[in-house]
Amino acid sequence: MNTKNLSKKWCQKNGIAIVESAGESAQECAAPIKIAVPNATDEFLLEKIRFATQQRIVPEQHSPAEIKMMHSHAESIDDEDLLQHLNHLEISRNSSWESEPIINLVDSLIIKALQKKATDIHLEPLADALRVRFRIDGLLTEYRTFPQWLTEPVLIRLKVMANVDITERRLPHDGSFAFENFQEKVNVRVSTIPVNNGEKCVLRLLPANDSAQTLDSLDFSEPTLQAIRKIFSAPQGLFLVTGPTGSGKTTTLYAGLREIIQRKINVTTIEDPIEYELRGANQVPVNEKCGFTFAVALRSILRQDPDVILVGEIRDAETAQIALQAAQTGHLVLSTLHTNSAKAAAARLLDLGVQKSILDEALLGVFAQRLVRKLDKTTSQESTPQYKGRTVVCELLLPNNTYADSSMQENARKLVESGITTEEEIKRVLGS
């Protein structure tokens, strides 16, 4: 036997990499296999490799980082190898979602997206192909197209992983699953919707572990940072974070919670769905299909002796009313709203029937934010601006109707003047 018995996933799970494999001939198969391992004296691991390959092995000690680099380098050619296997499957008419090449292809797409720091994967069925795009730094970028016949087995594979009904193609579906490779573990949210050429599928990639991001790591100015810290240390009141989907609202709230969760307090979150694991908090998933809405969950949680409550989103009048009542009765309530600015948040709550006097008494502040791409300083000589990574542009409106550190437009201008981003990028995100 040779290294075909050592799948990519098996090697990644066991923290090893193939340095030099044996060939197919009897003479080549007799040659030892060179394997990169983190500990060349780990006889238990070496015996596992020998058992899997049924061959002699030569262990070469490498650091875990070096082994990861070996996998990253091999990843660049995996797609072409996979396509060759898939072409053989097409000829044999065996394109089942259970086949190893389909499983490898789906895993490869997720791994590739993680390597490129993508937040979403879009699988779009065309008349003659399956188009795959990654959302990187807020923009959808073309990754590649696959043969059209791959659409069905890939989608079924994802539906099975997400525990979604594979027989119903006329209705949208939502599901999720945990994905783990040798570098990291992520929660994958799966959403499908019928389109003219079949079903479109979008995967949202969310870190599964408790992220190390803190308020200090979020690029806030010092006045904004100090004001937010003061709000998170308040014994009661309502703090709102506003912005469109994907603007980092949950990241900001979780970063603040990580700073206070070590205190002797009861932190409870209500989310739809739960995006990140937050150690030390009681995380409650909303299930509107069975009537367990934000409002119902919030009423129940108030009987659980909470100190801090994170409500994923205020969507309706009932949730708004209960959240304000909680903020007035000794609880720190954190939540999000979908509004364009901090000043628009108060108007939105008034539209939901909240009394102005109660809002004025309970509101600790409203934080509005957007994410803009940062200029890549290593490509400054190029005529067209190149971007790498994102930073936040924000505004924090305090109860006295002043900003902790300027409005969002003024802070955006500072980012341009500092050479962190461009005028064009600000216009793209904020408008003119």
C-alpha distances in angstroms, 271 versus 24, 218, 252, 314, 331? Answer: 53, 22, 15, 11, 18
Nearest by Cα to 102 from 149, 134, 145, 144 = 149
Residues ≥6 apart with Cβ < 8 Å to 385 = 375, 422, 424, 425
Taking the CA atoms of 376, 377, 378 and 379 in sequence, report the sign of the dihedral they define: positive
Distance CA 39, CA 51 (A): 18
Separation between Cα atoms, residue 392 and residue 411, nearest integer Å: 10
Q: What is the DSSP letter of 233?
A: T
Q: Are 408 and 370 in contact (CB under 8 A)?
A: yes
The DSSP line for 37-62 is ES-TT-HHHHHHHHHHH-S-EEEEE-
Three-state DSSP string of 115-153: HCCEEEEEEEECCCEEEEEEEECCEEEEEEEEEHHHHHH
User: pLDDT tens per residue, the chain (432 residues)?
Assistant: 445 566 777 787 788 888 765 544 444 455 788 888 888 888 888 888 888 888 888 888 888 877 877 776 555 445 555 566 566 656 555 567 777 778 888 988 998 898 888 999 999 999 999 999 999 999 999 999 988 888 999 999 999 999 999 988 899 999 999 898 656 788 899 999 999 999 999 999 988 765 568 899 999 999 999 999 999 999 999 999 999 988 999 999 999 999 999 888 999 999 988 878 888 899 999 888 888 999 999 999 999 999 999 999 999 999 999 999 999 999 999 999 988 899 999 999 999 999 999 999 999 999 999 999 999 888 766 678 899 899 999 999 999 999 999 999 999 999 999 999 999 999 999 987
Q: At what angle do helices 294-301 and 317-328 cross, to 10 degrees?
A: 20
3-state SS of 274-331? Answer: CCCCCCCEEEEECEHHHCECHHHHHHHHCCCCCCEEEECCCCCHHHHHHHHHHHHCCC
Residues in Cβ contact with 265 at an 8 Å cutoff, skipping those fewer than 6 apart: 307, 308
Largest CA distance in the chain: 86
User: Measured between alpha carbons, how far is 396 from 228 in angstroms, rounded to an integer?
Assistant: 8
Task: Give 3-state DSSP helix, strand, coil % of the chain, rounded to 5.
Answer: 40, 30, 35
Q: Which residues contact 23 (CB under 8 A, 6 or more apart)?
A: 2, 29, 31
337 bridge partner residues: 242
Crossing angle for the helix pair 222-232 and 249-260, nearest 10 degrees?
A: 60
Q: What DSSP character marks residue 32?
A: P
Contacts 24+ apart (CB under 8 A), 381-390: 385/422, 385/424, 385/425, 387/137, 387/421, 387/425, 388/137, 389/137, 390/137, 390/138
- State the pLDDT at residue 288: 82
CA 79/CA 68 separation, integer angstroms: 18
Work out whether the CA dihedral 100, 102, 107, 113 comes out positive or negative. positive
- 131 contacts 163 by C-beta, under 8 angstroms: no
Please enumerate in sequence order all residues whose Cβ is within 8 A of that of 244, keeping only pairs 6 or more positions apart, or say none.
338, 370
Model pLDDT, residue 24? 45
Please give the pLDDT value at position 4: 55
Separation between Cα atoms, residue 62 and residue 362, nearest integer Å: 57
Tokens of 154: 């890939």
Whole-model pTM? 0.76
Crossing angle (nearest 10°) for helices 100-115 and 64-92 = 140
